[in-house]
């Protein structure tokens, strides 16, 4: 257990964890209340209206994330987060007061969703990189896993409390409580000791810095695979608040309390997945792809669940698969990207992760209204299965990997490369379960682009100004070994978006 909670040894991280737990709980309370009043108060059980709110809430990330990622490589992350969290508090309180005063309608909800999306889209890359200043690269994967556990512990508490509050109090009070919860995060950041922050390099202002980030990503096939898988699943599958709402209300005829309980049960599985991820020191691309298939299977079970309680229990499995997928993608990216360019790469990732939601949510909402709520889940399950299998086939072809069965006890799968003809050993600290992950893909490492035996494209490396100098492709034997130990120690982690 000490390995699971290793980051708690750092005072600044403990403060962050406590403050974020309060803030995340309030956020989940507001998400449930917002979707519920749109579904039941400002529309007549209209799933499309909920999808539009979700799209407006995450749409700004498409435009803002690239600029925010560049700013995250330049500005003081601590100060920026204190400002943005205070703005989020003011926005939530104002919305709550207007609801209590009876001065709100659906158009107003849409407007506040956009304003919150603008602030959230800007601060997301800062969240993704700030935790690296608290724990350093050695505890990076552990901190990412604990952040996910934090987020989903709040997801257990928040929806349940919101469901009860919506039965007892007017909905506006839930928004006011969320506004007050942000003050806990601001206070925690303010109490931190900057002298104990881990060094994170900042870049000088120069032309072409965002293009450098795009060029870096373009030359990393492992990153591109993650982006495609996460983008497709985020677009069609990660609309859980919407699908839970229409399933509770339309498929099972339940009220707010039952809706809140669904979110809490989903979070039980998510917390379990996050705590397991916290023990993994070096996640890999193959875990992302295996998790995509697991997501497809578990959400498929949810789509065909015959009763409310079987649907609720299946949500626990879906929650575990979802968080394993998200945490593996997040950790894999942060551990394999140099600190000087990490903010820009993560901003592109957030643009894909959050920006796909505005595209998919209205579609999923329309599917729920037209074909029924079960199909709104099934479309995500089918999309995840297709993209997961397609990515595995592509990886097998381009990274030249294959699977062999080792019959020694205990029987397990070996990842082998036809050119090398050797077993690719697991890295130190990986769990024994790594050897049975069926995807068997290469490590997410700057040189591990096309796998041994090919001539990989070598990602251009950024200099201190954030520019990328052109380098010729080099054979695998001459390529660099990736980030240095000092770079790894400076790596950053993020909380769930």
How large is the angle between the packed helices 172-190 and 77-100, nearest 10 degrees? Answer: 160
Tokens of 162: 């919101």
Q: How confident is the model at residue 432 (pLDDT cuts 50, 70, 90)?
A: very low
- pLDDT grade, residue 493 (50/70/90)? very low
Q: Which helix (H) or strand (E) holds 81?
A: helix 77-100
CA distance 266 to 311: 10
Tokens at residue 241, please? 């608040």
State pLDDT tens for residues 185-210.
999 999 999 888 887 666 666 666 77
**Which position has the higher pLDDT, 269 or 115?**
115
Q: What is the pLDDT of residues 7-50, one digit of tens each?
A: 899 999 999 999 999 998 999 899 889 988 998 888 887 888 88
Of the candidate ranges 83-92, 161-170, 348-357, 390-399, the one whose mean pLDDT is the lowest: 348-357
Q: pLDDT at position 68, please?
A: 81
The C-alpha angle 333, 334, 339, rounded to 5 degrees, equals 125
What is the mean predicted confidence (pLDDT) over 447-458?
A: 34
Q: Which two tokens stand for residue 233?
A: 């699943």
Question: Tens of pLDDT along 207-236?
Answer: 667 778 788 888 888 899 999 999 999 999
Decide if pLDDT at 403 tops 80: no
Q: Report pLDDT for 422.
A: 33
φ/ψ (deg, to 5) at 405: -95, 125
For the chain, the 3-state helix, strand and coil shares in percent, each to the nearest 5, are 70, 5, 25
Pairing of strands 402-406, 412-416: antiparallel
Question: Is the confidence at residue 176, as pLDDT, over 90?
Answer: yes
How many other CB atoms are found less than 10 A from the CB of residue 157?
20
Angle, helices 140-168/172-190, rounded to nearest 10 degrees:
150
Over 60: is that where the pLDDT of 426 sits? no
Other residues' Cβ atoms within 10 Å of the Cβ of residue 78 = 17
pTM of the predicted model, to two decimals?
A: 0.64
- pLDDT recorded at residue 201: 61
Cα 461 to Cα 482: distance, rounded to the nearest angstrom: 10
State whether residue 44 is helix, strand or coil.
Answer: coil
What average pLDDT score do residues 122-131 get? 83
Q: CB neighbours of 87 closer than 8 A, spacing ≥ 6?
A: 119
Q: Token pair 């575990």 is at which residue?
A: 320
DSSP secondary structure, 412-461, as one string? EEEEE-TTT-SB-PPPTT--GGGGG-TT-PPP--TT-SS-TTS-PPPPPP
Report, as an integer, the average pLDDT of 466-471. 39
CA 188 from centroid of its chain's CA atoms: 22
Is it true that domain 6-198+209-395 has CATH number 1.20.1250.20?
yes
Closest CA to 349 of 330, 368, 367, 331: 330
Q: How many residues does the chain have?
A: 497
Mean pLDDT of the chain: 77
Q: What is the pLDDT of residues 278-329, one digit of tens each?
A: 666 666 788 889 999 999 999 999 999 999 999 999 999 998 898 889 888 8
The DSSP call for residue 198 is P
Worst-scoring range by mean pLDDT, 51-55, 176-180, 485-489? 485-489
Spatial contact of 20 and 334, defined as CB atoms under 8 Å apart: no
Residue 404 pLDDT: 58
d(CA 262, CA 319): 11
């Amino acid at each position: 257990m000490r390995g699971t909670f290793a980051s708690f040894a750092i005072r600044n991280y403990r403060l962050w964890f406590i403050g974020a737990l309060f803030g995340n709980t309030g956020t989940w309370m507001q998400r449930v209340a917002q979707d519920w009043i749109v579904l039941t108060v400002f529309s007549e059980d209209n799933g499309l209206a909920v999808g539009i709110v979700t799209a407006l809430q995450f749409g700004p990330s498409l435009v803002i994330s690239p600029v925010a990622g560049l700013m995250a490589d330049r500005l003081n992350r601590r100060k920026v987060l204190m400002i943005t969290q205070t703005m989020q508090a003011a926005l939530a309180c104002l919305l709550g007061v207007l609801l209590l005063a009876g001065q709100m309608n659906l158009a107003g909800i849409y407007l506040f969703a956009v304003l919150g999306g603008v602030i959230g889209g800007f601060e997301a890359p800062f969240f993704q990189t700030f935790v690296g200043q608290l724990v350093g690269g050695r505890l990076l994967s552990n901190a990412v896993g604990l952040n996910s556990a934090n987020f989903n512990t709040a997801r257990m508490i928040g929806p349940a409390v919101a469901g009860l509050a919506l039965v007892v109090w007017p909905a506006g009070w839930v928004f006011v409580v969320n506004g007050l919860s942000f003050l806990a995060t601001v206070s925690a950041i303010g109490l931190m000791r900057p002298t104990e922050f881990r060094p994170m390099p900042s870049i000088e202002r120069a032309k072409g810095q965002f293009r450098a980030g795009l060029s870096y990503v373009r030359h990393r096939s492992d990153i591109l695979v993650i982006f495609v898988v996460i983008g497709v699943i985020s677009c069609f599958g990660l609309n859980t608040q919407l699908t839970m709402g229409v399933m509770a209300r339309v498929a099972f005829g339940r009220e707010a309390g039952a809706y809140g309980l669904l979110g809490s049960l989903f979070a039980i599985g998510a917390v379990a997945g996050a705590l397991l991820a916290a023990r993994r020191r070096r996640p890999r691309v193959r875990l992302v792809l295996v998790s995509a298939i697991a997501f497809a299977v578990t959400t498929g079970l949810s789509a065909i669940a015959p009763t409310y309680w079987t649907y609720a229990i299946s949500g626990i499995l879906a929650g575990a698969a979802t968080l394993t997928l998200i945490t593996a993608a997040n950790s894999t990216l942060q551990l394999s990207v140099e600190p000087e360019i990490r903010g820009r790469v993560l901003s592109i990732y957030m643009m894909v992760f959050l920006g796909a939601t505005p595209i998919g949510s209205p579609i999923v909402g329309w599917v729920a209204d037209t074909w029924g709520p079960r199909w709104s889940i099934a479309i995500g399950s089918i999309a995840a299965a297709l993209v997961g299998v397609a990515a595995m086939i592509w990886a097998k072809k381009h990274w030249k990997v294959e699977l062999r069965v080792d019959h020694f006890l205990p029987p397990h799968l070996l990842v082998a490369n036809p050119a090398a003809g050797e077993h690719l050993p697991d890295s130190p600290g990986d769990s024994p379960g790594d050897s049975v992950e069926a995807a068997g893909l290469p490590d997410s490492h700057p040189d591990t682009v096309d796998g041994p035996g090919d001539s990989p494209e070598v990602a251009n490396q950024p200099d201190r100004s954030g520019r990328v100098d052109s380098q010729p492709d080099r054979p695998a034997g001459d390529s660099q070994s990736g980030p240095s130990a000092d770079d790894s120690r400076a790596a950053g982690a993020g909380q769930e978006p």
